[in-house]
A and B are shown apart, each in its own frame.
Chain A
Amino acid sequence: MKYVIYPVALALLAAVPFVASDYALGLLIGMVTYVTLASAWAMFSGPTHYVSLATVAFYGAGAYVVAMLNEVMAYPMILLITAGVGATMALVVGLSTLRLAGVYFVIFSFGLAELIRQLITWYEINIYGTLGRYIFVDITARGIYWQMLGLAAITIGLTAYINRSRLGLALRVIGDDEVVAAHSGIPLARMKLMAFVLSATILTLAGAIASPRWVYVEPAIVFNPTVSFLTVIMALFGGANRLWGPALGAIPLFLAFEYLSAHFPDVYPIFLGALFIGVVFLFPNGVLAGIEGLRRGKKEETA
């Protein structure tokens, strides 16, 4: 059944730009972007419980690759290079840091975005000689939407595949207890690294696909830490351990933020903070799990 539903749903979503207004299309792009980011984030952080705040490090790096190369080569080639850059970065970073656990990893990942931002700033000032680059690529909003939709589908499909594979099982064991995982003969470093690289590659590609909408990039614009926080909160809100959790967290929150920015512009940061606290206290496993828990509780009561 679902082999029919998913392709049909995807085809329907892909057809939306033909009827949507420019603004509706803009909303869709934003939504699909965050669905992709949150799902890719959850691919690694969901099962392993390694909370990463490095999302924007990869997302921003992707945008910067496009900014640096858009005048010298064709767009598909740039995307390939972007994927390579993302994977390489994740490999280097992962090899050196995935031995860190808990809060150390969180702090490191947050620092990573700042590190990359400062490295690029240094490079631009001392070697390129100016800060700020222009992206003039001939890609319409529709084109961006279709690419991002494709990436989202790939991300969720890949997550589904990983969940059923040995890699997924290994990651869940690692998330539950790393010592047990090591004793069961799971190659910890390799498993974590594989998931981290896959997730980071998708994040980097998402940045590359979204970047033509910015036209002008500067490290301060591209490495905006809010992106990392939003991704985490969306994935946790929906439930980072479920296939559709991040997507179902991203869509309502994205729409809520959009609504707030139009109607209550000044309260947005307060809302974001309250949401962080609320998710941690009320739905530590995500809203989906929370609703399920409530249902189960009711059933037991009536039984």
Chain B
Amino acid sequence: MVNLFKHAKACTTAFAVAAASFMTAGHATAADDTITIGYAVALTGPNATGAGISTVPNYRLWVDQVNGEGGIEMPDGSRKMIEVVEYDDRSSNEDLVRAIERLASQDKVDLILPPWGTGANLAIAPLMARFGYPQLAVTAVTDKAPEFAARWDRSFWMLGGGHDYATGLVDVLAQARDAGTINNKIAAVSVADGFGIDLIKGARPAFEEAGFELVYDESYPLGTSDFAAIMSEAQASGADSFVAFSYPPGSFGMTKTAQAMGFNPKVFYISVGGAFPIYPGIADGKADGVMAIGGVDGTSDSVKAYFDAHTTFVGNPPDSWASAVTFASLEMLEQAIGRVGLDHGDLAADLSSGTFDTVIGQVKLEDNQLRDLWTVGQWQNGAFVGVGPADKAGAAAPVIPKPEW
């Protein structure tokens, strides 16, 4: 027993030494001619897919572009190269919170870029506020954004809430119905997860208010892979519009199921995943006419240039929802630094009140939120373009009914 205690003591000492050296082994503090920018995102685990599509490639692309031009321009006209500190949060908010503490108090980075996902952005918001960093939360879809922006005044929410997307879709469908192209029956399915619930909750009253009849309304558990039953019930419901508030696996599965069973509703709407560059491949080349959440301005040259740059740098085009907004948020940061420098308070003030020229056009936030959003997009001639809100500059006219599979 004494022997064991000795071992234990020796081990403890060794660990203490290891821990101590570990804690001090931070990254070298930046020289004056560089800016250190840190971020912790999911590189492994369940969130890695989403982060790997919308977040990480854009961070890397932006850093590459900025450094390629000689660095970020400061208010005095000098340029500073960006140095990146990248951590994996392993899709765990516990690890993410620790990584942010590390970036702020150990690495003392100049700026912190946000993680991927609503939960992740909320988990770090109190910390970012405490350390004073501005937080440009892009991949966080929440109806409570106004409350959060008020609670943490250096946080910015740039992808709207479920309610925005639900009402955006209802507007597009209401116009088609008023034109007599579709009947007033809707078949809706939703994934039983935060996102799907938020959307269907926003959509139900909006459909009713617009005079639609929700003839089929089912939720399915996350992880469902067989959609034949709900799809055939939706088909039998007599609705011209099929609406799915779904995540990528569901969006893809339902597309394939609809094709296999020859289900050809006049409107086929899916949610997350519909704007992914791989979608036309999933749909066997017959994506045209499919509607989904998000969208980009199909007539914009800057969007086209961004898509080309992304394709060259990453190897595939970006998704047509969150990616362009993510990239725009980085451009905003860059322009804000050019105007006011690196002071966090000044940066937040400029982000909140300034106007920015970005890939998604001119951006000005309202109450720390981006409200000028694409809510509905559609595949047209092989590109995913924004169709709603219909009065937004660059909006394409929706093609209804959708051509048969």
- Interface of A with B (CB < 8 Å)? 21-27, 29-30, 33, 118, 121, 125, 129-132, 134, 141, 210, 213-218, 220-221, 224, 226, 242, 244, 248, 251-252, 255, 258-259, 261-262, 265-266, 268-269, 288, 291-292, 295
A23 touches B98 (CB 8 A): yes
User: Which among A30, A221, A248, A262 is the interface contact of B87 at CB below 8 angstroms?
Assistant: A262
Residues in A neighbouring B197, C-beta threshold 8 A: 125, 129-131
Task: Tell me whether A265 and B86 are in contact in the complex, defined as CB-CB below 8 angstroms, given that A26-B97, A134-B122, A255-B22 are known contacts.
Answer: yes
B126 close to A (CB within 8 Å): yes
User: Which among B12, B97, B193 is the interface contact of A214 at CB below 8 angstroms?
Assistant: B97
In whole angstroms, how far apart are the Cα atoms of A214 and B45 in the complex? 17
Closest residue of chain B to A245, judged by CB? Answer: B8
Q: Nearest Cβ in chain B — how far from A180, in angstroms?
A: 26
In whole angstroms, how far apart are the Cα atoms of A31 and B143 in the complex? 35
B104 close to A (CB within 8 Å): yes
Residues in A neighbouring B43, C-beta threshold 8 A: 265-266
Task: Tell me whether A23 and B102 are in contact in the complex, defined as CB-CB below 8 angstroms, given that A132-B194, A261-B90 are known contacts.
Answer: yes
B106 touches A23 (CB 8 A): yes
B7 touches A292 (CB 8 A): yes
Q: Nearest Cβ in chain A — how far from B218, in angstroms?
A: 12
In whole angstroms, how far apart are the Cα atoms of A141 and B197 in the complex? 32
Q: Nearest Cβ in chain B — how far from A299, in angstroms?
A: 10
In whole angstroms, how far apart are the Cα atoms of A254 and B106 in the complex? 18
In whole angstroms, how far apart are the Cα atoms of A259 and B18 in the complex? 11
B90 touches A21 (CB 8 A): no
Residues in A neighbouring B201, C-beta threshold 8 A: 129-130
Best-buried of B4, B43, B94 by chain A (most CB within 10 Å)? B94
B44 touches A213 (CB 8 A): no
Instruction: Sort A-B residue pairs by CB-CB distance and give the 9 closest, nearest first.
Output: A265-B88, A216-B122, A22-B105, A26-B101, A26-B98, A23-B106, A23-B102, A131-B194, A265-B43
A268 touches B119 (CB 8 A): no
Listed by A's residue number, 13 A-B pairs whose Cβ atoms lie within 8 Å are A24-B23, A33-B94, A210-B94, A216-B122, A221-B93, A248-B11, A248-B12, A251-B15, A255-B15, A265-B43, A265-B86, A265-B88, A288-B4
Tell me the B283-329 residues at the A interface (CB within 8 Å).
Answer: none
Say what secondary structure dominates the interface of chain B.
Answer: helix
Task: Tell me whether A268 and B101 are in contact in the complex, defined as CB-CB below 8 angstroms, given that A131-B193, A292-B4 are known contacts.
Answer: no
A291 touches B7 (CB 8 A): yes
Closest residue of chain A to B10, judged by CB? Answer: A291
A288 touches B119 (CB 8 A): no
Q: Nearest Cβ in chain B — how far from A79, in angstroms?
A: 19
Give how many B residues have a beta carbon under 8 Å from the other chain's beta carbons: 49
In whole angstroms, how far apart are the Cα atoms of A221 and B95 in the complex? 12
Tell me the B25-52 residues at the A interface (CB within 8 Å).
Answer: 43-46
B125 close to A (CB within 8 Å): yes
Say what secondary structure dominates the interface of chain A.
Answer: helix
Best-buried of A29, A216, A295 by chain B (most CB within 10 Å)? A216
B164 close to A (CB within 8 Å): no
Q: Nearest Cβ in chain A — how far from B242, in angstroms?
A: 21
Closest residue of chain A to B92, judged by CB? Answer: A224
User: Can you add 10 more A-B contacts, CB < 8 Å, to A23-B23, A121-B221, A265-B88?
Assistant: A21-B105, A22-B105, A23-B98, A118-B221, A121-B193, A130-B197, A210-B94, A215-B125, A217-B119, A226-B45
B123 close to A (CB within 8 Å): yes
Q: Nearest Cβ in chain B — how far from A122, in angstroms?
A: 8
User: Which among A217, A251, A268 is the interface contact of B88 at CB below 8 angstroms?
Assistant: A268
B99 close to A (CB within 8 Å): yes
B362 close to A (CB within 8 Å): no
In whole angstroms, how far apart are the Cα atoms of A102 and B353 in the complex? 63
B118 close to A (CB within 8 Å): yes
B94 touches A213 (CB 8 A): yes
B15 touches A261 (CB 8 A): no
Q: Nearest Cβ in chain B — how far from A127, in angstroms?
A: 12
Chain B 80-112, CB-CB to A under 8 Å as 1, else 0, gives 000000111111111101110110111000000
Task: Tell me whether A214 and B90 are in contact in the complex, defined as CB-CB below 8 angstroms, given that A23-B23, A252-B15, A266-B44 are known contacts.
Answer: no
User: Which among A24, A218, A291, A295 is the interface contact of B119 at CB below 8 angstroms?
Assistant: A218
Q: Nearest Cβ in chain A — how far from B359, in angstroms?
A: 28
In whole angstroms, how far apart are the Cα atoms of A29 and B44 in the complex? 22
In whole angstroms, how far apart are the Cα atoms of A259 and B88 in the complex? 10
In whole angstroms, how far apart are the Cα atoms of A226 and B222 in the complex? 19
In whole angstroms, how far apart are the Cα atoms of A244 and B94 in the complex? 24
Task: Tell me whether A215 and B123 are in contact in the complex, defined as CB-CB below 8 angstroms, given that A129-B201, A292-B4 are known contacts.
Answer: yes
Task: Tell me whether A269 and B94 are in contact in the complex, defined as CB-CB below 8 angstroms, given that A131-B197, A214-B123 are known contacts.
Answer: no
Task: Tell me whether A220 and B193 are in contact in the complex, defined as CB-CB below 8 angstroms, given that A214-B93, A261-B90 are known contacts.
Answer: yes
A215 touches B122 (CB 8 A): yes
Residues in B neighbouring A118, C-beta threshold 8 A: 221
B98 touches A259 (CB 8 A): no
Closest residue of chain B to A129, judged by CB? Answer: B201
In whole angstroms, how far apart are the Cα atoms of A224 and B90 in the complex? 11
Residues in A neighbouring B15, C-beta threshold 8 A: 248, 251-252, 255
Closest residue of chain A to B147, judged by CB? Answer: A134
Residues in A neighbouring B46, C-beta threshold 8 A: 220
A226 touches B119 (CB 8 A): no
A216 touches B123 (CB 8 A): yes
B23 touches A269 (CB 8 A): no
In whole angstroms, how far apart are the Cα atoms of A266 and B8 in the complex? 32
B192 close to A (CB within 8 Å): yes
Task: Tell me whether A21 and B106 are in contact in the complex, defined as CB-CB below 8 angstroms, given that A131-B193, A244-B8, A252-B15 are known contacts.
Answer: yes
Residues in B neighbouring A226, C-beta threshold 8 A: 45, 90, 92
Q: Nearest Cβ in chain A — how far from B368, in angstroms?
A: 18
Residues in A neighbouring B105, C-beta threshold 8 A: 21-24
Q: Nearest Cβ in chain A — how far from B52, in angstroms?
A: 11
A22 touches B104 (CB 8 A): yes
B198 close to A (CB within 8 Å): yes
B19 close to A (CB within 8 Å): yes
In whole angstroms, how far apart are the Cα atoms of A33 and B97 in the complex? 14
B3 close to A (CB within 8 Å): yes
B219 close to A (CB within 8 Å): yes
In whole angstroms, how far apart are the Cα atoms of A220 and B93 in the complex? 11
In whole angstroms, how far apart are the Cα atoms of A26 and B19 in the complex? 13
B23 touches A27 (CB 8 A): yes
